[in-house]
Amino acid sequence: MNADVQAQDRREFMVSAEGVHKQYGSNHVLRGIDLRVAPGDVTCVIGPSGSGKSTLLRCINRLEVPDAGRIYVNGELIGYQERDGRLYDLGPRALAKQRRHIGMVFQRFNLFQNMTAIQNIMEAPIHVAGASKSDARDRARAALDRVGMLDHQDHYPLQLSGGQQQRVAIARALAMDPALMLFDEPTSALDPELVGEVLDVMRGLADSGMTMIVVTHEIGFAREVGDQLVFMADGRVLEKGDAREVLAHPDNPRTQQFLRAVLP
């Protein structure tokens, strides 16, 4: 495949990961990950702890630097500029510009405890996007309304439940108008009765056409909302395909074993 065809092919996908490796010392966490995510699709990533799922997300938005391979988001090579066939690391400003289009929601909400919900959300539009305070406040209010938290805009994180804090964290990512949303087990730190309110917000985002990659243990959500299901183990993608088909009829023995353990 020539370079022009490759570039055109990548532009057809929101995310294209090609041969991604990541090591921490002798621990080879990602072992040649290939993954493509179409615009508007929801890709759910499942697998045992330690399989590299969270590391893959962190490589996509460059919180971790891959040791090998390339990741493209919306056709743009993440973290590098290519000149004359060689790769050069992007500077902090250029990298921050790329990250503006990639929203990330973590297991722990990572909210500033000394700021109200709306202040937490206004931070990035002001300091990363250069928005005025008025514009940032408008963005924050719209994002809070989208996740059903506008009535709590003046509450501090400690005044909110875990589910409410996670919805604020989602609103914080949405305020930057991302093209892609990454969710790293967004419900794993929540009490069971609070999981539903976060999943409802994520369903709404999926219905709106947001491209999402969701690392999750919520198999019901993956079956209901996911377009593509990816099963990872030992740093590799062992199976991927239509979410409902993979869950109903997994081919790989390791996928079968995992699903037997997690499904009722």
Confirm whether 160 is domain-assigned: yes
Confirm whether 178 is domain-assigned: yes
* CB 96, CB 124: distance < 8 Å: no
Confirm whether 164 is domain-assigned: yes
Confirm whether 115 is domain-assigned: yes
Confirm whether 32 is domain-assigned: no
C-alpha 162/C-alpha 204 separation (Å) is: 19
| pLDDT tens for each residue of 102-143 | 999 999 889 999 999 999 999 999 998 899 999 999 999 999
C-alpha 47/C-alpha 237 separation (Å) is: 9
Given a cut of 60, whether residue 75 has pLDDT beyond it is yes
Query: What integer is the mean pLDDT of 28-38?
Result: 97
Number of domains making up the chain: 1
CATH, residue 186: 3.40.50.300
Confirm whether 130 is domain-assigned: yes
Report the candidate in 128, 207, 204, 132 with the shortest Cα–Cα distance to residue 172: 128
- Residue 42's pLDDT is 98
* CB 98, CB 116: distance < 8 Å: no
* Structure-token pair, residue 202: 């994520």
Backbone angles phi, psi at 191, to 5 degrees: -65, 145
More confident residue, 93 or 60: 60
Side-chain half-sphere exposure of 15, counting CA atoms within 13 A: 27
Strands (E), 84-148: 86-89, 102-105
Structural domain of 122: 39-59+96-262
Confirm whether 26 is domain-assigned: no
Confirm whether 8 is domain-assigned: no
Q: Where residue 5 falls among pLDDT bands split at 50, 70, 90?
A: very low
Rg over alpha carbons for the chain, rounded to the nearest Å, is: 19
* Structure-token pair, residue 159: 């005044």
Average per-residue pLDDT for the chain: 94
Strands 211-215 and 42-46: parallel
Given a cut of 50, whether residue 223 has pLDDT beyond it is yes
CA of residue 261 relative to chain centroid, distance: 25
Please tell me the pTM assigned to this model.
0.94
